Amino acid sequence: QWRGIIAEYADRLPAHVQTHVVTLGEGGTPLVPAPALSVRTGANVFLKVEGMNPTGSFKDRGMTTAISAAASRGAKVVVCASTGNTSASAAAYAVAAGMVCAVLVPDGKIAMGKLSQAIAHGARLLQVDGNFDDCLIAARKLADAYPVELVNSVNPDRIEGQKTGAFEVVDTLGDAPDIHALPVGNAGNITAYWKGYTEYAESGPATRLPMMWGFQAAGSAPIVLGHPVTFPETIATAIRIGNPASWAQAEAARDTSGGLIEAVTDEQILAAHRILSRECGVFVEPASAAGVAGILMLAEQGRVPAGARIVVTVTGHGLKDPQWALRTADGAEVTPVRVSADVVSIARA
């Protein structure tokens, strides 16, 4: 029985997250071979399916550690800014910890699945008339002015939890991959994976380090452009972030690993989203497909080393934002059937 990432990686996590453990069994997510992507890229591609976490995204890895640390300090209220998944996760773990949770989300720019989670868990929802970046400024002010814990990825306990994704990849594959690709929004996740890979290489069991390949949405690509984006725009609302909190750390991961951070268009994201569901059997929300869009783009440019072992983190479940499957479906095949009819012959037709 998987015991959650704090118990499974206790020797790799700080003591202060272990005195009062709050867990929903996060982590231990599937590493799925993706032959359809291997054929398309000429590499050997695996998907780290983070939608299989308790609240449907990788955020749970960092929330178990951040909320556990807050609980050990006797916190009663947690607050976070979010494009949706952080708030869904914070709301669930706050309930598990018996805490009150306040979330600040950009008005009208949060996917329904995520909003439903925050509401279901009884979070205090503050819809900010602005973007995620405005929400984060407000959340920081709240945490400065009141005795509430800020659980955004500026909180180092979040990064500590999220680095376990890298540990699991190495524990499953036997070593680090040649390349690790993933979406980049607030840039906590690329920072966390790089931290995990370097720790596993320093003291073993990894014998090597991957290149980190991060991908931003073209309409919301501050790190690619080299300056903040005041009005970020992308259908991948989870990564619609113009001024990443972990900007410098993401650049360090890119440069130290000899990797890259580039942009993919919404069209490329939606094409990858569809390949994942129609050819790999993995249903993700749009932002989660950015890493796959990225390796497909680089393959088209002849920049994917032949036979390279690539792990792509797909970060959130498709049920978070189901409209993208419905809207782009090419007319779902619906055949009317009367119960009395000979269903077999109809199905065969």
Ligand X SMILES: Cc1ncc(COP(=O)(O)O)c(/C=C/C(=O)C(=O)O)c1O
- The residues of the shown chain that bind ligand X, judged by CB under 6 A, are 57, 59, 82-86, 153, 183-189, 238-239, 285, 287-288, 315-316
Whether the Cβ atoms of residue 280 and residue 37 lie closer than 8 Å to each other: yes
Q: CB-wise, 209 or 238, nearer to ligand X?
A: 238
Whether the Cβ atoms of residue 270 and residue 211 lie closer than 8 Å to each other: no
> Nearest approach, Cβ of 278 to ligand X (angstroms)?
20
Angle CA 97–315–282, to nearest 5: 120
How many CB atoms sit inside 10 A of residue 39's CB?
11
Q: CB-wise, 44 or 292, nearer to ligand X?
A: 292
Q: CB-wise, 23 or 162, nearer to ligand X?
A: 162
Q: What is the CA radius of gyration of the chain?
A: 20
Please state, in angstroms and rounded to a whole number, the distance separating the CA atoms of residues 349 and 346.
5
By Cβ distance, which residue is nearest to ligand X? Answer: 316
Whether the Cβ atoms of residue 72 and residue 34 lie closer than 8 Å to each other: no
> Nearest approach, Cβ of 238 to ligand X (angstroms)?
3
Cα 312 → chain centroid: 11
> Nearest approach, Cβ of 333 to ligand X (angstroms)?
29
Q: CB-wise, 68 or 220, nearer to ligand X?
A: 220
Q: CB-wise, 239 or 272, nearer to ligand X?
A: 239
Give me the phi and psi of 244, to 5 degrees please.
-55, 135
> Nearest approach, Cβ of 228 to ligand X (angstroms)?
15
> Nearest approach, Cβ of 25 to ligand X (angstroms)?
19
> Nearest approach, Cβ of 120 to ligand X (angstroms)?
16
Q: How far is CA 263 from CA 110, 185, 202, 273, 281, in A?
A: 22, 11, 31, 16, 25
DSSP state of 86: H
Q: CB-wise, 201 or 239, nearer to ligand X?
A: 239
Q: Which H or E element spans position 144? A: helix 132-145
Q: CB-wise, 44 or 269, nearer to ligand X?
A: 269
Q: CB-wise, 44 or 59, nearer to ligand X?
A: 59
Residue 89's nearest CA partner among 109, 65, 118 is: 118
Within 8 A by CB and 6+ apart from 239, the residues are 83, 183, 184, 185, 216, 217, 220, 287, 290
> Nearest approach, Cβ of 95 to ligand X (angstroms)?
17
> Nearest approach, Cβ of 285 to ligand X (angstroms)?
5
Whether the Cβ atoms of residue 14 and residue 68 lie closer than 8 Å to each other: no
